[in-house]
């Protein structure tokens, strides 16, 4: 019997290999959409279902403060997760309805099977003519059906929520690095 810890590492590595093969094109599309939006003065809002909301907050933080080098902040906001809200499932949607503008971007993170709060935010974004980037996984049942032709889905090749959560964080770091290097190419020449 294989060591349980080694088994977990093996699962992580296998998911990494599958992701490296499958996610290059959607990562490129997401980076292009984010860079284009930022250069056009659009705003990016992000949220995540359940524990994935921590990744949303992390992404907003590194986009504001910088990841690879010191730079001006990008206009990225993680929506507030007010779990005491009267309409718990609409907490993100209400914020999008209040501040979202056409062609702004909503970036959603999900490592659960169901995503009612994120789905409601996506519906609100669609009503505001916003673009959507969804980072999901194979067991997600709510999000893919809400995406339009100009939206981007990055579907992590796993049904395991723990592996998906690990990749949400990795993908957010990768996107920030790509965006920084595209907007500030002089920083990568040194």
pLDDT digits (tens, 9 = 90+) for 67-93: 989 999 999 999 998 766 667 789 999
Give domain limits for the chain. Answer: 4-187
Domain at 4-187, CATH from 1.20.1560.10, 3.40.50.10490, 3.40.50.720, 3.40.50.10860: 3.40.50.10490
Helix intervals (H) in 46-145: 53-65, 91-99, 116-127
What pLDDT, in 10s, does the model give residues 177-187? 999 999 999 88
Question: Model-level pTM?
Answer: 0.93
């Amino acid at each position: 019997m294989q060591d349980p810890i080694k088994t977990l590492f093996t699962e992580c590595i296998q998911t990494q290999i599958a992701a490296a093969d499958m996610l290059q094109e959607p990562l490129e599309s997401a980076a292009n959409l984010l860079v284009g939006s930022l250069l056009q003065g659009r705003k990016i809002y992000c949220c995540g279902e359940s524990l994935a909301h921590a990744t949303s907050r992390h992404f907003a933080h590194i986009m504001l403060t910088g990841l690879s080098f010191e730079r001006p902040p990008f206009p990225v906001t993680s929506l507030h997760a007010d779990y005491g809200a009267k309409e718990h499932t609409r907490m993100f949607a209400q914020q999008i309805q209040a501040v979202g503008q056409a062609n702004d971007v909503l970036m959603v993170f999900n490592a659960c099977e169901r995503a009612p709060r994120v789905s409601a935010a996506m519906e609100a974004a669609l009503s505001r003519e916003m673009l959507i980037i969804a980072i999901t996984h194979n067991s997600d049942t709510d999000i893919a059906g809400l995406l339009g032709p100009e939206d981007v889905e990055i579907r992590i090749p796993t049904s395991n929520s723990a592996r998906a959560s690990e990749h949400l964080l990795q993908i957010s770091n990768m996107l920030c690095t790509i965006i920084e290097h595209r907007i500030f190419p002089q920083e990568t020449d040194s």
